Amino acid sequence: QGRAITYKELREAILNGNISPAWLQRWQQDYVRFVSQHLRPLWLVAMQNAAKRLQAGYPGWRFDAMADGVQRWTANRGAAFVTNSTNAQLQGLQAVIHHAANSGMNVDVLARAIRPMVGLTYQQSIANANYMQTLIANGMSQKKAVDKAIRYAARQHRYRGYNIARTELAFAYNQGTLEWARQAQEAGYLGKAVKVWRSARDERTCETCMRLHGMEIPLNEPFPFSTRLSGLDVRLAPPAHPSCRCALDIEEVEPPQLREDARYDIIEEIPKPLTNAAGVPIVIVERDDIRHGPPNGITQTFEAKGGITRNYHGSDGRRVKQISNNDHGYPRKHPFGQKGEHCHDYAWDEDGNPHHGKARELTDQERSENSDIL
């Protein structure tokens, strides 16, 4: 953007003491393209990475990166980013132009010094202008002081770039965690849950984040903190400030409740039915319904990383057992077999709530029946 502004335009701005409205329009268009081409794809990757961390314990569940909640968040975050970035840039350049107009320096020299500052924040722009003035006041030539200010501006731009990257990816990662929980609840995989604020708790942790650490609140309630970050629902999850390192955790406090409208979603039935090694038919599904599977049947889902999970259902359609042919990327939690293959048993209480058993070794019979995927 600095290179797109001509020295003639800068000289006019310095002499008039105002920024051209055409600059603002160009800046907004630039930021809109930046969000579309660069930020949005990275936001989605960060959200998916957050979901992968959580869904290891729910192998039949798939996070939908194209869901309405994700689309609403990226649209709202994109609009806030464009507005915030344009305003920050406007305030920064307006401040340095006003500063320059009263400096008494040659307008051509000022235009050369100010051009690299386009894109800096108000604080960065003032710091750079003061740095240049201090150098001149201490006897340095204007040319050399301007050269140093230009190099200083380059370092400031790199810092701002890193700051934006860290903050925006933190927004997306933590929003991905929150959206995963909402989707999992809607699908009946996750029961009543709370979100938990986690901070690094080291010498770099600010007072706000230290105070929030460990706080548990309902998913859709905002955390109690003030922030200079702006945007829709900005307090629903970290970050609390630029370059914040805090993260969101989800903890289930009650198991899922029975949903009468839930149904298992068949996405493929092969003309010649798929069977396991024992000849028992297998139904391929996109998402296995823990409560309403095929009575006395077996469903199969494919995991994001290529693994296979088979869910066994009782006569009432409720899941009674789950067998996976891998360790879901957590070998310490599943130290079984050659590839971490394991089984979870399910028990149902008198209120109709499922209880997920700990991972165990497959029996010889289970290994024989599922040898086609082991």
Query: What's the pLDDT at 77?
Result: 93
* CA-CA-CA-CA dihedral for 28, 32, 38, 40, to nearest 10: 130
Query: What's the pLDDT at 271?
Result: 44
Query: What's the pLDDT at 294?
Result: 84
Sequence-distant (≥ 6) Cβ neighbours of residue 236 within 8 angstroms: 175, 178, 220, 221, 222, 223
User: What's this model's pTM, rounded to 2 decimal places?
Assistant: 0.66
Long-range contacts, stretch 142-145, CB < 8 angstroms, 24+ apart: 142/105, 142/106, 142/109, 143/109
pLDDT in tens, the chain (374 residues): 888 888 888 888 888 777 888 888 888 899 999 999 999 999 999 999 998 888 777 766 678 888 888 989 999 999 999 998 888 888 888 888 887 767 677 788 888 888 888 888 889 988 998 898 899 889 999 889 999 999 999 999 999 999 999 999 999 999 999 999 999 888 778 889 999 999 999 999 999 999 999 999 999 999 999 998 888 789 999 999 999 999 999 998 988 765 444 444 444 443 455 788 888 888 888 778 888 888 888 999 888 778 899 999 988 889 999 999 999 888 888 899 989 999 999 998 887 888 888 899 999 999 999 999 99
For residue 27, the one-letter residue type is W
- Kindly report the backbone phi and psi dihedral angles of residue 128, in degrees, each rounded to the nearest multiple of 5, phi listed first: -70, -45
Tell me which residue of 158, 169, 231, 179 sits closest to 42, measured CA to CA. 169
Query: What's the pLDDT at 196?
Result: 97
